[in-house]
Structure 1
Amino acid sequence: MTLFTLVLVALIQGVTEFLPVSSSGHLVLLPLLTGEPAQGLAIDVAAHLGTLIAVVLFFWTDVRMALSGLSRLIRGKVDTQGAWLALCLMVATIPVILAGLILKVTGLADLIRDSMVVIALAFIVFGIVLYRADQTNPEIRTAPQWTMKHAVIMGLWQVVALIPGTSRSGITITGARTLGYTRTDAARLSMLMSIPTILASGSLLALDVIGDTTPGLWTDIAIVAGLSCVAALAALSLMMRLLRSVSYTPYVVYRVALGAILLIIAMTGGGSLPNS
């Protein structure tokens, strides 16, 4: 990949990973615009690493509390807020890991990953679902009120994100808003849930690229990881500030509009994707 394409991949992944607009849906456009093959697994791992570092840095207070609680959880004690947060995060991550493994083993993941029609419909349908959840549910709960039951429910919502174009952050925010969490705390829980999920998916991808000796690969990885981290930090900061006064409607409008564009491209025969 050229340096320009690497930069585009890093910025697109970084900006869209945590916004409820789907990074996969945006990255599918890149090969169509540049004519280059889709980014490989190594670049995917680099982009995930960058966004993982970003969310850990941005929510470091919560991450530190969960890490301190994890040591108590290992000893069988759930007697602190940190231990409870760590337990809920673990429980919320189990469904998507199991579902992801099933899709990978059965090959279903490859069947749906490159379908622009699937991505376009997911953009539109789950954008509307987010709008309804955000507009019809009150803001009556905060992140410290997260319960085990709600962790399970949000974990099941996260499974839906395995459909390309859904948006992991978007669907978990939808689940949180359905349960009555405030807009900012719905985003906060969603971002914290992303940490073990990105770790799991990134580790799985990394297994497929171990031993890759492509010339210049590590330079490309460093570029993508660094830029995606910076872009993700900027996107997180902007979104969390805006949510104090703005609903999720602007993201919904954007999702539906882009989904419609992708659907038109797919239906008119312009949606064949270059091989990775």
Structure 2
Amino acid sequence: MSWWEAVVLGLVQGLTEFIPVSSSGHLAVVGTLLGAQDPGAGFTAITQLGTELAVLIYFRRDIGRIIARWCQALAGRVPRDDPDARMGWLVILGSVPIVVLGLLFQDQIENTLRGFVVIGTTLWVFALLLGLADRFGRHERTLDRLTWKHGLLFGLAQAAALVPGVSRSGGTITMGLLLGYTREAAARYSFLLAVPAVVGSGFFQLFDELRGGAVVPWGATALATVVAFFVGYAVIAWLMRFITTHSYTVFVVYRLVAALAVYALVLAGLLPAFNDGYPG
């Protein structure tokens, strides 16, 4: 992987991680078109550490308060039903599905499910789901009304993003809208829920690559991660303002167009229909 390819892929990661369009799907497509092949699940997970650092900094006050109150509740210094302490438990609960399913289906995630027919299909299927949820959702629940059942459902939606093309933020935001949460509440919880899952996945993939002795372009990967951080931070700030006055329709339309583009590239022979031995 060349330096300029790393910059391009870092830009793609930063631009697509937080909007509901699937960063892993975009990295697979763009990486292949650049001639670098699908960058793989390992590259995706490591560069996501950059965008997740952007989340930690942007929501640092919320995250710091949640962690502090959760620890205080464990020590009995604040009530266990304290809203922030409760949010800490809800984030932990919502993180369980992606951890369990990620470990159970690691081989399929890193290989079989990275085919471009799969990516094209998940792009349009989840575009329709997001559109329906945004159109018919009640948009009235706030995060202080988040229940244990809803926390688990958010987690299951996040786990669906193990399949490229689904979108982690898209899956959790769609679930939130279906459950009646406001656009901002669904997005905010999506970002908070991603912290343990994405950070854990990134470091797991990092240690897995080191243990397996894989040849990894560490310099290019690090550059892509830094680029993804700065671009991702700007995207978070923009998205949180955008959704206060706009619907998710623009992302639904984009996903549908992207799905058609992927199918067209497959038919033109520029993308393989199925995984053909890409590095995981």
TM-score, normalising length: structure 1:
0.91
**More deviation in 30-39 or 234-243?**
30-39
Question: Structure 1 CA distance, aligned partners of 2:43 and 2:118?
Answer: 23
Q: For 2:216 and 2:255, locate their aligned partners in 1 and report how far apart those are by CA, in whole Å.
A: 37
Determine the structure 1 residue equivalent to 2:126: 126
Structural RMSD (CA): 2.1
Q: What is the SS of the residue equivalent to 1:210?
A: helix
The more displaced of 29-38 and 179-188 is 29-38
Query: 1:53 maps to which residue?
Result: 53
Q: Take 2:214 and 2:35, find their aligned partners in 1: how far apart are those partners?
A: 25
1:66, 1:215 → 2: CA distance? 36
Give me the whole-angstrom Cα distance separating, in 2, the residues matched to 1:67 and 1:130. 31
Matches within 5 A, 1:63-142: 63-75=63-75, 78-104=80-106, 107-142=107-142
In the alignment, residue 134 of structure 1 is paired with which amino acid?
Answer: D
Matched letter for residue 59 of structure 1:
F
Q: Which runs of 5+ in 2 are unaligned?
A: none
Residue 275 of structure 1, aligned match among 261, 266, 278: 278
The 5 Å alignment of 1:1-276 reads 1-39=1-39, 43-75=43-75, 78-104=80-106, 107-210=107-210, 217=218, 219-272=219-272, 275-276=278-279
Q: Distance in 2 between matches of 1:39 and 1:28?
A: 6
- Structure 1: gaps spanning 5 or more residues: none
User: 1:68-121 CA distances to partner (integer Å, 9 max, x unpaired)?
Assistant: 1231354476242221010000000101110111101xx322343321000000
**Are 2:139 and 2:180, in contact at CA under 8 Å, matched by a contact in 1?**
yes
8 Å contact kept, 1:37–1:274: no
Relative to structure 1, the CA distance from residue 216 to residue 93 in structure 2 (aligned partners, 3 Å threshold; closer, same or farther) is closer
Q: CA deviation at 1:142?
A: 1.0
Once the two structures are TM-superposed, the CA of residue 195 in structure 1 deviates from its matched residue by 0.5
Q: Deviations over 1:18-37 (max 9, x none)?
A: 11000011112223321123
User: Secondary structure of 2:247's match?
Assistant: coil
C-alpha change, 1:161 and 1:264, in structure 2 (3 Å) is same
Provide the rounded CA distance (Å) in 2 between the counterparts of 1:186 and 1:168.
12
Q: Cα gap change, 1:95/1:2 in structure 2, threshold over 3 Å: closer, same or farther?
A: same
Identity of aligned residues (%): 31
Deviation per residue, 1:33-54 (Å, 9 max, x gap): 2112333666434412111110
Give me the whole-angstrom Cα distance separating, in 1, the residues matched to 2:161 and 2:139.
Answer: 23
TM-fit CA distance, 1:213: 8.8
Between the two proteins, the alignment pairs up a number of residues equal to 273
Which residue identity lines up with residue 88 of structure 1 in the other structure? Answer: L
Matched residues in 2 for 1:220 and 1:51: separation? 16
Q: Which amino acid aligns with 1:97?
A: V
- Give, in whole Å, the separation in 2 of the partners of 1:223 and 1:34: 17
d(CA) in 2 for partners of 1:110 and 1:221? 18
Please state how far the C-alpha of 1:130 moved relative to its aligned partner.
0.3
**Partner AA of 1:89 in structure 2:** V
The 3 A distance-change label for structure 1 pair 215 and 39 is closer
